[in-house]
Amino acid sequence: MKEPAPADELAEAEAGQRRKRKPVGWSMIFIAVLVAVSATLVYRRDGIDGVLKILTHDLWLFGEILPRVLAGCLLGAFITEILPHEKVSRSLGPNSGLKGLLIGTAFGAILPGGPFTAYPVAAALLTVGADFGATIAMVVSWTLIGYGRAVAWELPILGTDFTLWRIVISLPIPILAGALGRFVYVRMYPKGEPS
Amino acid sequence: MTMSALIIDISLWGSVLVLGIIAFRRGRVVVVSAAREGAMDFINIVPRIALGVIGSGYIAAVIPPEIITGWLGPDSGWLGVLTAVIAGGLTPGGPVVGFSIGAVALKVGGGSPQVIAYVVAWALFAFQRLILWEIPFMPARFVWFRAAVSVPFPFLAAALAMAIGKP
């Protein structure tokens, strides 16, 4: 369990309220290598035409996604600015108990938009004091019981019966995943999150 | 532009506008600094998203859906669930691919618990979504932690489906 931050440190965080920009980490290097290997395989199989065809298609997709990514980033930034940190830490922090997991689950289920909203908002929640458990509940709830993808894709492709039962079966998962996350977290980082 | 894309864009920018107004009522400075912060995040994230979006086409081309479908045969029981979970994690591409593969598996005789496990695993930790979306926006440590914690749940979903005998 984390010790509550001293008052002036909290005030400073409140005033600063800036999350660190991410440096290029191992994950990005891993992705770059994976992409390079895949592109080489495509080149050896389909030649330069195959490579270019995928490139133009994906560039098009990229252009389509960009404005939404901007909207997602703005959403995250506004949430970071608007939500009061003490309140978020109380209702979604490490000591928020089952209630925090339920709030995270409900929030993930009603969140509109796609991945370009869910992940910036989840990152903002982490910044303003939600713990891993509540954020896991939110992300898992968004992906499993959020209505967006279910209505747009799953219902037409897999049918009503399958989709509804799949969602019913998934209902407990966000809370359980959040609880498991907390359980593992306090054992992995008994002194709080390393920075 | 399709109808659903339009609805997504309206609800998305509508939310931005509402939050922007709430921030504006706290003062101009709040809005400006938040907007600047969001724009900086955007600039910072664009190269990562670019790598993911442009790269994922190549990854998907190397792992064609037919391979995944083959893994989801009518192999029932827990071995079938295990292959379904692995297949879900490895499935490249967007929602159409994942759900279509599930539909194909149902048609060729895959059991419902196995297909449930596949869809849930794909939703929880399809590696391409982790790479394309989750890693750029979130702390990498959180993403790997969340994915690892999620591993038991497709199995739980399959067990629940077997227990209630649905869908």
pLDDT digits (tens, 9 = 90+) for B14-58: 999 999 999 999 989 989 999 999 999 999 889 888 888 888 889
pLDDT at site A24: 64
Tell me whether A155 touches chain B (CB under 8 Å): no
* Cα gap B70→A91, rounded to integer Å: 45
Tell me whether A41 touches chain B (CB under 8 Å): yes
Q: Is residue A147 part of a domain?
A: yes
pLDDT tens, residue order, chain A (195 aa): 444 444 444 443 443 444 555 666 777 788 889 899 999 999 999 999 999 999 999 899 888 889 989 999 999 999 998 988 899 999 999 999 999 999 999 999 988 778 888 999 999 999 999 999 999 999 999 999 988 788 888 988 999 999 999 999 999 999 999 999 999 999 998 877 665
> Contact at 8 Å (CB) between A175 and A105?
yes
Q: Bigger pLDDT: B160 or A7?
A: B160
- Radius of gyration, alpha carbons of chain A: 20
| Mutual angle of helices B77-90 and B152-164, in 10-degree steps | 140
Residues in chain A: 195
Model ipTM over 0.90: no
Q: Is residue A74 part of a domain?
A: yes
Amino acid letter at A182?
R
pLDDT at site B8: 79
Paired tokens of A127: 């910044």
In the stretch 1-40 of chain A, residues with CB closer than 8 A to chain B read: 18, 21-22, 25-28, 31-32, 34-35, 38-39
Q: Is residue A193 part of a domain?
A: no
Contact check, Cβ <8 Å, A126/B95: no
Q: Is residue A194 part of a domain?
A: no
Of A77, A152, A173, the CB nearest to B4: A152
- Total structural domains within chain A: 1
pLDDT at site A22: 60
Domain membership of residue A55 as a residue range:
7-188
Instruction: Place B93 in a pLDDT band, splitting at 50, 70 and 90.
Output: confident
Q: Is the pLDDT of residue B131 over 90?
A: no
Contact check, Cβ <8 Å, A115/B143: no
Angle ∠(B132,A20,A142) on CA atoms, nearest 5:
40
> Contact at 8 Å (CB) between B65 and B103?
no
Paired tokens of A83: 């939500």
Other Cβ atoms within 10 Å of A43 Cβ, number: 15
Which residues of chain B make contact with A181, given a CB cutoff of 8 A? Answer: 145-146, 149
Domain boundaries, chain B: 1-62, 63-167
Of B31, B109, B163, the residue nearest A80 (C-alpha): B31
Q: Is residue A130 part of a domain?
A: yes
In the stretch 5-24 of chain B, residues with CB closer than 8 A to chain A read: 8-9, 11-13, 15-16, 19-20, 22-23
Amino acid letter at A35?
V
A–B interface: beta-carbon pairs under 8 A: 248
Q: Is residue A195 part of a domain?
A: no
Angle ∠(A154,A160,A162) on CA atoms, nearest 5:
75
Paired tokens of A18: 């800036």
Paired tokens of A140: 């898992």
Residue of B9, B106, B138, B156 best to disrupt the A interface, most CBs of A under 10 A:
B138
pTM given for the model: 0.85
* Cα gap A95→A188, rounded to integer Å: 17
Q: Is residue A1 part of a domain?
A: no
Contact check, Cβ <8 Å, A157/B16: no
Contact check, Cβ <8 Å, A70/B131: no
Determine the straight-line distance between the first and last CA of chain A, rounded to whole angstroms: 15
Q: Bigger pLDDT: B44 or B8?
A: B44
Paired tokens of A152: 């747009």
Average pLDDT of the segment spanning B125-149:
91
Tell me whether B116 touches chain A (CB under 8 Å): yes
